[in-house]
Amino acid sequence: MSLTFYLLLSLLFLFFFTSLYDTKPHVQTFTDRHDVVIGSLNPDFKGFQIWTHFSDISPEFVAKTIQKEDSFFYWHQGVNPWALLKALGSHLVNTGVRRGGSTITQQLAKNLIQEKLCQENECRPLPRNIPQKIKETVLALGLEMKHSKKWILERYLNTIYYGNHCYGVGAASQYYFPKHLKNSRLPKLTA
């Protein structure tokens, strides 16, 4: 398909789904009597989340995340066609090995769609099918057109699930290493 088709599809999707990513998730933060954050709850995700500004996240951690999740993050416009083809080929051949074809931006799009459903009290796992992948792809293209890579990374790193009801690097660093992300060392975080 041509680039023009993707652009038109992205614009249409942006028109209908702009509200998906225009606001930060509602996070309720709990502090002790000395105003030290001891936890937070994001009712949209049914878990804990501490919003962390991009400048407070270690550049090494960001680089490792990009290396592991989407090594072509800075070179594509939201979708990596080669990764999608590899994932499709792996699925068609049915080797038993599941290969991820989603970019960081597509993963963020999926998180935003899930968040929107939860806000509407329709929390449920998203289907893993072609129509859903098309929605995520179109939203990813729209996100890339409207926002910077830095904005996308900040959102991604604050919405990704790190286990134990922790959403985002802030909550994960506090849960796993009882300290703020700025004070956490890279080898621990990427192990």
Domains contained in the chain, CATH given: 3-190 (1.10.3810.10)
Which residues, in sequence order, are bridge partners of residue 49? 167
pLDDT for position 9: 56
pLDDT at 124 over 70: yes
pLDDT in tens, 150-184: 999 999 999 898 888 888 898 888 888 876 566 55
pLDDT in tens, 65-84: 999 999 999 999 988 888 77
pLDDT at 123 over 90: no
Which residues, in sequence order, are bridge partners of residue 29? 40
Assign 104 a pLDDT band (cuts: 50, 70, 90).
very high
pTM attached to this predicted model: 0.71
Q: DSSP letter at 118?
A: H
pLDDT at 90 over 60: yes
Conformational region of residue 127, where left means phi above 0, alpha means psi within -120 to 50, and beta covers everything else: beta
pLDDT at 54 over 50: yes
Assign 191 a pLDDT band (cuts: 50, 70, 90).
very low
- Please tell me the total number of residues recorded for the chain in this structure: 191
How far is it between the farthest Cα atoms of the chain? 58
pLDDT in tens, 25-49: 555 555 666 666 555 555 555 677 8
* CA dist 36 → 67, 77, 170 (Å): 33, 39, 14
Q: Would you call 28 helix, strand, or coil by DSSP?
A: strand
pLDDT at 63 over 60: yes
CA dist., res. 128 & res. 110, Å (int): 11
CB within 8 A of 87, min separation 6: which ones?
99, 100, 101
Residue-averaged pLDDT of the chain? 76
Strands 28-31, 48-49: parallel, antiparallel or unpaired by DSSP? Answer: unpaired
Assign 109 a pLDDT band (cuts: 50, 70, 90).
very high
Dihedral sign, CA of 98, 104, 105, 110?
A: positive
pLDDT for position 40: 56
Which residues, in sequence order, are bridge partners of residue 40? 29
Q: Tokens 């939860």 appear where?
A: 118
CB within 8 A of 63, min separation 6: which ones?
none
